[in-house]
Amino acid sequence: MLSYRHSFHAGNFADVLKHIILIQNLEYLTKKDKPFCCIDTHAGPGKYELDGEYALKTREFENGIAKLWQRKDLPECVARYVSLIKRFNSPDKLTRYPGSPLITKQLLRDKDRLCLFELHNTEIKLLTAEANKDKRINVFHADGLTDCLKLLPPFERRGLVLIDPSYEIKSDYQQVVETLVAMHKRFATGTYALWYPVIERSRNQKLERAIKAGGINNVQLFELGIRADSNEHGMTASGMIVINPPWTLAAEMKQVLPWLAEVLGNNNEGFYRIETLVSDD
Ligand code: SAM
């Protein structure tokens, strides 16, 4: 049974990086007139109350969106992200945080589609209430890691797959790579963005080795750490592995990540990684 609830973590430093990269990918897709399809394999409930019981229990958003919210010196991509989050809040008060489904919805044009998977029995109800009225959106109460394959390739032949597991089950690390390889076989020109936490660095090294051995080209990694690696302090960093990223993404992240590492890093321990895991040939 799944017990993870993203409401405890919404708007934290990991969401900041994940959602900035999501927005950059979607904005790139909207630069061409042709429609696209976005598939979110682990959608969550859609939106979060930052003044609610769950968020206030951990207060993780305080070292995330709350630190960026009122700043006037934001790099361009961070400013775009913050302004999108502001659409869900009154001008001076940060109380709501949109999850990936609502962020993506903001950037869909009439001709684009969004397919959402969520397995948790409570989260799916919230998500359905949030998203199902929109004709461009389909919600599936199903396993996103297996069932998303049925949607590939999308008929638009352009698209993004966001894979944002909670890694509750250790086998998730292995399953995401197998899924990525299978998805890429069906839809090789698609963009894939896989989120990962850094809790125990050795697991990430294994994940990166598996991706490099997976036979997929053009893979970049973007990571933001707020504390030095440690096996004792929970999540110290997180990142996104992006297959077929927009060609502009690495340059954008070179502006964003050093800045975020400084602003969100704890006790000057913030760090970042921008790496090409597999080149484009
Ligand atoms: N993507 C969301 C966002 O950015 O706002 C957050 C998603 S949260 C990290 C992960 C979600 O995946 C949880 O709501 C969990 O219930 C759900 N989940 C876990 N395993 C799943 C699976 N195999 N298929 C679909 N959803 C799953």
Q: Sign (positive/negative) of CA torsion 259, 220, 199, 175?
A: positive
Query: Which residue numbers belong to the known binding site?
Result: 19, 42, 100, 118, 143-144, 164
Q: Would you say 190 and 183 are in contact if contact means Cβ atoms under 8 Å apart?
A: yes
Contact between 76 and 259 under an 8 Å Cβ cutoff? The reply is no
Task: Answer whether residue 2 shows pLDDT above 80.
Answer: no
Question: Using one digit for the tens of pLDDT, what is the confidence trace for 247-265?
Answer: 999 999 999 999 999 999 9
Mean pLDDT confidence for 163-170: 90
Ligand 1 pocket at CB < 6 A: 2, 4, 6, 18, 42-44, 99-100, 117-120, 123, 143-145, 164-166
Please say whether the dihedral angle defined by the alpha carbons of residues 185, 191, 195 and 200, taken in this order, is positive or negative: positive
Listed in sequence order, the DSSP H helices in the chain are 13-29, 53-58, 65-68, 76-86, 100-107, 121-131, 144-147, 172-186, 201-212, 249-264
What sign does the dihedral 86-87-89-91 (CA atoms) show? Answer: positive
Closest ligand 1 atom, residue 48 Cα:
5
Confidence band, pLDDT 50/70/90 cuts, at residue 1: low
Q: What pLDDT was estimated at residue 233?
A: 76
The catalytically annotated residue of 40, 112, 164, 172 is 164
Atom of ligand 1 nearest to the CA of 145: 23
Rounded to the nearest integer, the mean pLDDT of the chain is 95
- The residues spanned by each domain of the chain are 6-278
The mean pLDDT value for 41-48 works out to 96
| Mean pLDDT value across residues 84-113 | 96
Question: The dihedral of CA 205, 265, 42, 38: what is its sign?
Answer: negative
Q: Is residue 51 annotated as a catalytic residue, yes or no?
A: no
Residue 34: predicted pLDDT: 98
Q: What is the pLDDT of residue 92?
A: 86
Please report where in the chains the tokens 């998303």 appear, as a residue.
Answer: 148
Q: Which residues contact 206 (CB under 8 A, 6 or more apart)?
A: 173
Level-2 CATH architecture, domain 6-278: 3-Layer(aba) Sandwich (3.40)
If you take atom 14 of ligand 1, which residue's CA is the nearest one?
Answer: 44
Q: Judging by DSSP bridges, how do beta strands 271-278 and 191-198 pair with one another?
A: unpaired
ipTM above 0.90, yes or no: yes
Supply the residue whose CA is at minimum distance from atom 23 of ligand 1: 143
- pTM to 2 decimal places: 0.97
- Write down the pLDDT at residue 281: 80
What pLDDT was estimated at residue 172?
86
- Judged against a pLDDT cut of 70, whether residue 278 lies above it is answered with yes
Q: Which residues are annotated as a binding site for S-adenosyl-L-methionine?
A: 19, 42, 100, 118, 143-144, 164
Closest ligand 1 atom to Cα of 195: 9
Q: From the CA of 43, how far away is ligand 1's center (Å)?
A: 5
Looking at residue 271, its pLDDT comes to: 98
Q: What's the average model confidence in pLDDT over 194-213?
A: 96
Q: What is the structure's pLDDT at 219? A: 98
Percent of the chain with pLDDT over 90: 91
Q: What is the pLDDT of residue 199?
A: 94
Average pLDDT over residues 25-42: 98
Identity of the amino acid at 45:
P
Query: Which helix H or strand E contains 132, and what residues bound it?
Result: none
Residue 197 CA: distances (Å) to CA of 53, 74, 142: 24, 24, 23
Region 200-219 average pLDDT: 96
Mean pLDDT within 122-138: 92
pLDDT at res. 232: 82
Condensed to tens digits (0 to 9), the pLDDT of residues 210-240 reads: 999 999 999 999 999 999 999 887 999 999 9
Residue 28 has pLDDT above 90, yes or no: yes
